[in-house]
Amino acid sequence: MQKRRLGTSSLEVSAIGLGCMGLSHAYGRPVDRKDGIALIRAAVDRGVTFFDTAEVYGPFTNEELVGEALAPVRDRVVIATKFGFVVDPKSEQRGLNSRPDHIREVAEACLKRLNTDRIDLFYQHRIDPQVPIEEVAGTVKDLIREGKVKHFGLSEAGADNIRRAHAVQPVAALQSEYSLWWREPETEVFPVLAELGIGFVPFSPLGRGFLTGAIDENTKIESSDFRAGLPRFSPEARKANQALVELIGRLADGKGITRAQLALAWVLARKPWIVPIPGTTKLHRLEENLGAVDVELNAADLREIDRALSEVTVQGARYPEHLRKLAAK
């Protein structure tokens, strides 16, 4: 497995990580615990060293799963988790909370659930408009001094907040959605990341599964699946967006690879400091995804993909209105 460094930080990880959320959260019924552990350990066996979780995934159960799975190889892997929400497991009501005392409480709870003595990468899950980002960064800086956290990250943050946070405590990585059908970070965020030496960790690099061709307008999405409430996954949007899937399919066929591999190879080719974290619950999909590191897209390939993408307009908002309000930049 190839390695990549997240920006100019000392954080070196496998070129593709594993997003663990879907094992416990968001995409319907959680996998059996032993199956989740087996998948994570299979990823380790195949060279993956970067694993992503969060307290809200489950909630809490995903961190416990990741911690148990990685305990035997703890010193060989990098574990990223997140703070920034209030989680009530009984009601699943959530609100933003990045007050310093809450960050500390979450850090201590994460350490216990992950069964570890340090958090390798601690992201603020979403910007909290009620707490200055300088206070957030300062709190994580203190946790780093205490040895409880190794690196500071932000998720879905905009350019201004990235700059302000980085001035207090260097930001090792920004995690945001990025893929062939969501390229917004390229415009304002990428230049800031390059300037400041910050790595980029795209979540949903396969468009929550849609870009693989496994989902179409006739696919039944269960009500317990997070995607059921996303405008981009309405039957009408899925029908309209099949043009993108077909385009990706033609490009992938020309390379003799799968749609998933093309989508991931494209992300990897954008910048050397990008490390995508596709998630899966299936071993064969894990192996397929990891195969993308061996796909080389040259400048001509990237120009052709850009030209082709310019002819397709993606339909449907990324999030419904009530979730967009949480995505303060």
Residues in Cβ contact with 164 at an 8 Å cutoff, skipping those fewer than 6 apart? 133, 134, 137
* Cα 236 to Cα 160: distance, rounded to the nearest angstrom: 36
Known catalytic residue: 57? Answer: yes
Please pick, among 57, 123, 178, 319, the residue that the annotation labels catalytic: 57
Distance of CA 93 to the CA centre of its chain: 22
In which residue are the tokens 């990025």 written?
A: 178
Let me know the angle formed at the C-alpha of 22 by 115 and 75, rounded to the nearest 5 degrees: 30
In contact, 42 and 93? CB cutoff 8 Å: no
Residues in Cβ contact with 115 at an 8 Å cutoff, skipping those fewer than 6 apart? 67, 68, 71
In contact, 60 and 113? CB cutoff 8 Å: yes
Q: Which two tokens stand for residue 10?
A: 């000392």
Which residues pair with residue 200 across a beta bridge?
174, 274
Amino acid at site 217: E
Task: Classify residue 43 by burial, with Cβ atoms within 10 Å: 0-12, 13-18, 19+.
Answer: buried
Catalytic residues: 57
